Amino acid sequence: MIFSTQSKAFKNLQVQEDLFRVFLDFSDYAVLMLDSKGYIVSWNKGAEYIYGYTTAEIIEKHISHFYTQAEIEKGMPEQDLKNAKEKGRYERESIRHKKDGTPFSANTILTAVFDEDGGIASFANITRDISVQKKLEEENKLLNDQLEEKVKARTQELAIVNKELEAFSYSVSHDLRTPLRAISGYSMILKEDYESQLDDEGKRILNVILDNTTMMGELIDDLLSFSKMSRLEAVHESINMNKIVQSCIHDLLKKENQDQYNITIHPLPNCKGDPSMLRQVWLNLVGNALKYTSKKSKPAVEVGTIDDSGKNIYYVKDNGAGFDMKYYDKLFGVFQRLHRQDEFEGTGLGLALAKRIVSKHSGEIWGEASPGNGATFYFYIPKTI
Amino acid sequence: MNNNLNEVEILLVEDNLSDAELIIRSLKKVNLANHLVHVKDGVEALEFIFATGVYAGREQKNIPKVILLDIKMPRINGIEVLRQIKSNEVTKAIPVVIMTSSKEEKDIIVSYKLGVNSFVVKPVDFNSFAKAVSELGMYWVLINQPPLK
């Protein structure tokens, strides 16, 4: 047993010697041993490599040899030793110089070694060249700063583009309406004052002009509400969907023959969102349902919800003209239509607007249909946005 | 239309001649265009209202019963004309009706802040437009009681 313990101690000693040798040969760290006053008593290969002095050149020099004149004048070498003495270990980063004067970023750990009486026996001074790391950090910071600048510049650009768009839609709103009103107005004058002089074809042509001015007026209005809706921030309130749907249907049926429609409205759960925006969604979906069923002998529209594991999915189902799912990708596009103007009138903005609004609420909208067999549109708005 | 500039009931400020013709036609139909003067931009409007420039001979105290004012005009726009009318003690009592093509909310807000008496968006559809103009004319010229001169 005794033998084996000795053997273990012996082994430990050897390990430590090996470790020490590795340490001395280690080129990444400059390991200097200083006496209690700060004079260099030994240093390793790493120190030679990092500082560029030979052992003969540096032994017995004071550690202040590696400090700049300014640091020496401030008493920093003494202060560092004092800090190490008081705290046992003192670490700092500084700029050190190689023998040829090349500066490098250094991380230095100064450790005090105490003798048996608690006095300072020596110091270990371990320095690492962290220039590469520092350079990377600086480059990183520079890149971050540049990125921030870029984001700022881009945000500013976007604000300008937004302003321009606002000016554009203002201009569209004003400048397109004015000539349109002239076309409509003068056609009307022609009709009022000269209708008796026109034959049937002349009257027909005049009516086509008038119908088209009405159509273009609607297009401009839809386009404007579309661009406006895109600019507006949605407010979030609790919305009574039943009330909104009732009022939409009431408004929509003013223009229609009410009795012909069979409209079923199931109770709808409340929702959180922007009331005027979501009203627009209902107007467009229910409006479409009424429009595309108008040519059926028994037009039916159903409004309700499906509970999909806590998600309230609202739907509007009709038995109208429907559409071919082949063209589904066009369905929500701006100015996209799946029916001809002489079949069903429209501007091609209704569903695009509905989608824009639902997206603004982080929700989803989709539809399914087949030609002649009606269409169903679904949307849901997340409860917490 | 009237040549006596001291008996003007309606001052129409409109740079678009088609719009102006349509407005005047609609007012004529309800016999309201007899005392109407049409000026074609903001500069001319201010000269008429403050009796300066080409209207220097006019008596400023004879104020129109209503000013129909377009917004988007070259040189001085309608908002600026409104601002000058409403910030002057002599002219601020004149009823001003803004008639514009755009529904731009910021125009509406600014106009009311400046003290506009009415803000009307010109309908594109001529029938609605004609109806709006004649009703407007009747209200301000026949029904509304202006402040005593």
Which residue in A178, A186, A212 has the most chain B C-beta atoms within 10 A of its own C-beta, making it the best mutation to test that interface?
A178
> Look-up: residue for tokens 């559809």?
B125
Q: What is the mean pLDDT of chain B?
A: 87
Tokens representing A224? 């404007």
Cross-strand bridge partners of residue A312: A307
Do the Cβ atoms of B22 and A185 come within 8 Å? Answer: yes
Q: Which residues of chain A have a pLDDT value below 50?
A: 1-2
Tokens 């990125």: give the residue: A147
Contact list in B for residue A217 (CB cut-off 8 A) is 124-125
Q: What is the pLDDT of residue A305?
A: 94
Please answer yes or no on whether B102 and A174 come within 8 Å at the CB atom: yes
Phi, psi of B68 (to 5 degrees): -95, 115
Q: What share of chain B is helix, strand, coil (3-state, %, to 5)?
A: 40, 15, 45
Looking at the partner chain, which of A179, A181, A220 has a beta carbon nearest the beta carbon of B129?
A181
Indicate the pairing of strand B118-121 with strand B96-100: parallel
Choose the mutation target among B21, B108, B125 for the interface with A, i.e. most A CBs under 10 Å: B125
List of residues 6+ apart from A28 with CB closer than 8 A? A46, A128, A129
**Sign of the alpha-carbon dihedral angle for A323, A328, A333, A336:** negative
Nearest chain B residue to A228 by CA distance is B104
DSSP single-letter state for residue B9 = S
E strands along B71-117, which residues?
A: 96-100
Q: Which residues of B touch A170 (CB under 8 A)?
A: 102, 104
Among all residues of chain B, which has the CA nearest to that of A212?
B125
Q: Looking at CA atoms only, how far is residue A210 from chain B in angstroms? A: 9
* Residue B106 burial class via C-beta count within 10 angstroms: exposed 0-12, middle 13-18, buried 19 and up: exposed
Under an 8 A CB cutoff, do B124 and A224 touch?
no
d(C-alpha A68, C-alpha B81), whole Å: 74
* Confidence at residue A256, expressed as pLDDT on a 0 to 100 scale: 67
Q: Which chain B residue shows the shortest CA-CA distance from A192?
A: B127
User: Per residue in B93-109, pLDDT tens?
Assistant: 999 999 988 777 788 99
- Name the amino acid, one letter, at A160: I
Looking at the DSSP assignment, which residues form a beta bridge with residue A268?
none
Chain centre distance of CA B37: 9
Strand, coil or helix: B141: helix
Look at residue A257 in the predicted model and tell me its pLDDT.
Answer: 66
Residues of A in Cβ contact (< 8 Å) with B21: 185
Say whether the ipTM exceeds 0.85: no
**Strand-strand pairing, A300-308 and A262-265:** parallel
For residue A310, is it left (φ>0), alpha (ψ between -120 and 50) or beta? Answer: left
> What's the Cα-to-Cα distance from A264 to each of A43, A245, A303, rounded to whole Å?
93, 11, 6
Query: If you write DSSP's letter for every residue of B40-76 in order, what string do you get?
Result: -SHHHHHHHHTT-GGGTTS-TTS--SEEEE-S--SSS
For residues B62 and A351, the model is more confident at A351
Which positions in chain B touch A186 (Cβ < 8 Å)? 18
Structure tokens, A260: 């012909």
CB A53, CB A74: distance < 8 Å: no
* pLDDT tier for residue B74 given thresholds of 50, 70 and 90: confident
From the list A181, A187, A189, the residue facing B124 with the nearest CB is A181
Distance CA B24, CA B4 (A): 17
Decide if A224 and B19 are in contact by the 8 Å CB cutoff: no
Predicted local confidence at residue B142, as pLDDT: 85
pLDDT at site B44: 93
Residues of A with CB under 8 A from a CB of B: 170, 173-175, 177-182, 184-189, 213-214, 216-217, 220, 224
Mutation target among B102, B120, B129 for the A interface, most CBs of A within 10 A: B102
Instruction: Give yes or no for a contact between A356 and A229, defined as CB atoms under 8 angstroms apart.
Output: yes
Chain B residues with beta carbon closer than 8 angstroms to that of A216 = 124
CA distance A126 to A116: 23
| Single-letter code of the amino acid located at B54 | V
Please state the length of chain B. 149
Cross-chain CB nearest to B126 (options A170, A179, A184): A184
d(CA A270, CA A240): 5
Confidence label for B3 from pLDDT (cuts 50, 70 and 90): low
Which pLDDT belongs to residue A1?
A: 45
CA distance linking residue A43 with residue A34, whole number of Å: 9
Q: What are phi and psi of A315, to 5 degrees?
A: -140, 155
Which residue reads 């004067």 in tokens? A101
Contacts of B125 in chain A (CB under 8 A): 184, 213-214, 217
Chain A positions in Cβ-Cβ contact with residue B71 (cut-off 8 Å):
174
CB pairs under 8 A between A and B: 61
